């Protein structure tokens, strides 16, 4: 069996790596081609170009790279058509992925699977109908998503999220992490300003300002900043003038497994986290780390989003648990004073999010078959049944 995969950012790389591991377990002679990051490469993928080239979000951010991305779309689709895999699996990054799938469908009958249902329940519901023209099968991360996809004419399976099956750091792991990094008994604040260069640069001033305010009344906290390899150099530069002498966790000096373990330990060691909106909220929830989520967009992108978004919460923990347990400082509310105030509130009630985090992990499949294996089984079952 030959599988062509395309992922465009770290969260997609995580999903792709777990899916590939599941496929290898079910089909030992499977082979892989495509585009992915370190976790997918650890499963045997040789990426056709660096995945980081696709980690762009927002209209204004995409425009300067438009022609380069367009070339990559053409190159990727041509590679699929030339190699004729049994299935093309695109993972999130819909602006890139679905354009590749469109070209592939126009030139072949190769089966197309998209991993991560578009959030049509949040904004632009018409996307599902357009997607159905080029995608045969959708793998959904959230339990309430399949009806939206099926209504548009696509097969869809809820497969859970790999984060729900990852290990939870033990007290011994936390003690070892603190000793290794000379943290002593100091309380830890984990700060995560994003995984894309554009969002890091956009959020950094607000995060820095919030730290100044927070640390002025909570000087005992140590600031720890985990990074991903493509943006470690940027983080190193940005945090040089942050208060609290932040400690950057650079994954480039560790194996993939070691880097993942270090990040889990950092999350579990933290009394509190400040994070950009995204999958990282699930990673924090898996380690029971109380959090504040903050995010802003480029002005033009934000104005467009305000006209289309249909939600009153953006954080995945809140969406899955159907609560507002995790405080958010979004868009115009992403200000230092507002963020610092929410950090202090969370610190005063550290257990207020615990039930929502437990519900989220249970809903995403904790305790069941690993989501990557479930996703692999769903791909194979639909292929064998010929069910588009």
Q: What is the pLDDT of residue 59?
A: 43
- Distance between CA atoms of 288 and 302, rounded to whole angstroms? 31
Contact 140, 156 (CB under 8 A): yes
Neighbours of 99 (CB within 10 A): 19
Angle, in degrees to the nearest 10, between helices 336-348 and 197-217: 60
Alpha helices in the chain (DSSP H): 10-26, 38-42, 59-62, 66-83, 94-107, 127-131, 146-151, 171-180, 197-217, 232-238, 256-269, 280-286, 299-308, 316-321, 336-348, 354-363, 371-385
- HSE-up (13 A, CA, CB side) for residue 262: 21
- Residue identified by tokens 């578009």 is 118
Q: Are 221 and 189 in contact (CB under 8 A)?
A: yes
At residue 257's C-alpha, the angle toward residues 252 and 260, to 5°, is 75
| Alpha-carbon gap, residue 216 to 244, rounded angstroms | 10
Q: Please give the angle made by the CA atoms of 56, 299 and 57, to the nearest 5 degrees.
A: 10
CA distances from 194 to 21, 102, 223, 292, 333 (A): 26, 29, 16, 13, 17
CB 94 within 8 A of CB 54: no
Mark the ranges of the chain whose per-residue pLDDT is less than 70.
Answer: 55-65, 120-125, 297-312, 386-388
Amino acid 122: pLDDT: 47
Nearest to residue 12, comparing CAs of 162, 169, 154? 162
Angle at 157 between CA 256 and CA 18, to 5 degrees: 10
Cα 50 to the center of its chain, rounded Å: 17
Identify the helix (H) or strand (E) that includes residue 91. Answer: strand 87-91
Token pair listed for 172: 């011994």
What per-residue confidence (pLDDT) applies to 119?
73
Q: Angle CA(125)–CA(127)–CA(128) in degrees, nearest 5?
A: 85
DSSP secondary structure string for all residues of 165-193: GSPPPPHHHHHHHHHHTT-TT--EEEEE-
d(CA 345, CA 146): 36
Provide the whole-model pTM: 0.77
268-327 pLDDT, tens digit per residue, is 999 999 999 888 999 999 999 999 999 986 555 555 555 545 556 778 899 899 999 999
């Amino acid at each position: 069996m030959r599988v062509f995969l395309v992922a465009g950012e770290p969260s997609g790389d995580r999903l792709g790596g777990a899916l590939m591991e599941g496929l290898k377990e079910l089909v030992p002679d499977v082979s892989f081609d495509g585009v992915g990051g370190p976790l997918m490469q650890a499963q045997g993928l040789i990426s056709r170009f660096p995945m980081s080239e696709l980690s762009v979000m927002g209209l204004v951010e995409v425009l300067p790279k438009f022609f380069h991305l367009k070339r990559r779309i053409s190159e990727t689709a041509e590679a699929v058509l030339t190699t004729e895999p049994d299935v093309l699996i695109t993972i999130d990054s819909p602006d890139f992925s679905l354009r590749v799938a469109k070209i592939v469908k126009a030139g072949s009958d190769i089966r197309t699977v998209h991993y991560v249902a578009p959030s049509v329940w949040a904004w632009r519901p018409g996307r599902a109908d357009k997607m159905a023209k080029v995608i045969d099968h959708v793998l959904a991360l959230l339990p309430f998503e399949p009806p939206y996809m099926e209504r548009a004419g696509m097969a869809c399976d809820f497969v859970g999220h790999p984060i729900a099956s990852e290990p939870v750091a033990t007290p011994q792991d936390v003690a070892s992490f603190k000793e290794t990094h000379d943290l002593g008994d100091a309380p830890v604040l984990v700060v995560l300003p994003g995984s894309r260069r554009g969002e890091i640069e956009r959020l950094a001033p607000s995060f820095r300002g919030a730290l100044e305010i927070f640390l002025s009344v909570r000087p005992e906290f140590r600031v720890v900043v985990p990074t991903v390899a493509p943006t470690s150099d940027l983080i190193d530069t940005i945090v040089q003038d942050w208060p609290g002498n932040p400690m950057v966790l650079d994954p480039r000096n560790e194996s993939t497994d070691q880097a993942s373990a270090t990040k889990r330990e950092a999350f579990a060691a933290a009394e509190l986290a400040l994070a950009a909106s995204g999958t990282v909220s699930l990673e924090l929830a898996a380690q029971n780390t109380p959090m504040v989520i903050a995010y802003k967009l480029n002005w033009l992108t934000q104005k467009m989003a305000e006209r289309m978004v249909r939600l009153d919460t953006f954080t995945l923990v809140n969406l899955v648990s159907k609560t507002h347990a995790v405080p958010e400082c979004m868009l115009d509310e992403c200000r230092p004073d507002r963020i610092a105030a929410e950090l202090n509130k969370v610190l005063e009630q550290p257990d207020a999010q615990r039930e929502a985090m437990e519900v989220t992990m249970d809903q995403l499949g904790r305790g069941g078959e690993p989501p990557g294996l479930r996703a692999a089984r769903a791909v194979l079952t639909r292929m064998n049944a010929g069910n588009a």
